[in-house]
């Protein structure tokens, strides 16, 4: 993931996107009718620094594989100078509040793609923007899930991060898929 995000290894997006689409197409998710795929957009500054948007690259592969249009449905408002990686859950939630808006009215059921799910703050803010704009259902598909330590000692082996799971997102180690009610 670091090579994709920070070293521009774009072929990684193809491989991860293929794996994500295969994971989504399992029998449990196959019953969910989707209308489009979108992604969590990077800020303009980060996109310029990296030269591409890794979530967009993943979403394009997922959309192609699932035979769904990959649409730029979200816009990121403002340009926060600090990264989410250095914030705790409360800081992430506060930083993401009002950060996203729908660029166009979304279709009824949207698959939101991102690279990493940590606390769910970014995904929640994106989903809220899509629902405010008219989406009936927003599903989440990520390439990886980072567990966040609740204490300075971190998580014990086999322990799951209750902060993430409390928001209704499904547990996963390589690809996390979550479907949360409106």
Domains observed in the chain: 2-148+156-179 (3.40.50.2020)
Query: 63 near 70, Cβ under 8 Å?
Result: yes
For 147, the token pair is 């567990």
Query: 59 near 21, Cβ under 8 Å?
Result: no
Mean pLDDT, 10 residues at a time, the chain of 182 residues? 59 84 76 92 80 88 96 85 58 73 96 88 90 94 74 46 44 42 41
Query: 47 near 81, Cβ under 8 Å?
Result: no
Tens-place pLDDT, residues 127-166: 999 999 999 999 999 988 876 554 334 444 444 444 444 4
What's the pTM?
Answer: 0.74
């Amino acid at each position: 993931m670091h090579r994709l995000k920070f070293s521009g290894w774009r072929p990684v997006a193809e491989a991860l996107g293929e794996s994500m689409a295969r994971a989504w197409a399992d029998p449990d998710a196959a019953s969910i009718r989707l209308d489009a795929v979108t992604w969590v957009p990077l800020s303009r500054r980060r996109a310029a620094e990296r030269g591409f948007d890794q979530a967009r690259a993943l979403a394009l592969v997922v959309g192609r594989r699932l035979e769904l249009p990959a649409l730029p449905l979200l816009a990121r408002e403002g340009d926060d100078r600090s990264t989410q990686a250095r914030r705790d859950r409360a800081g992430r939630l506060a930083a993401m509040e009002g950060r996203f808006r729908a660029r166009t009215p979304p279709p009824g059921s949207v698959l939101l793609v991102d690279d990493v799910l940590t606390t769910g703050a970014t995904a929640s803010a994106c989903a809220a923007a899509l629902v405010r704009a008219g989406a009936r259902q927003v599903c989440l598909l990520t390439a990886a899930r980072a567990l966040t330590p609740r204490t300075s000692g971190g998580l014990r082996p086999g322990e799951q991060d209750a902060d993430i799971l409390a928001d209704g997102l499904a547990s996963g180690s390589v690809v996390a898929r979550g479907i949360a009610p409106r």
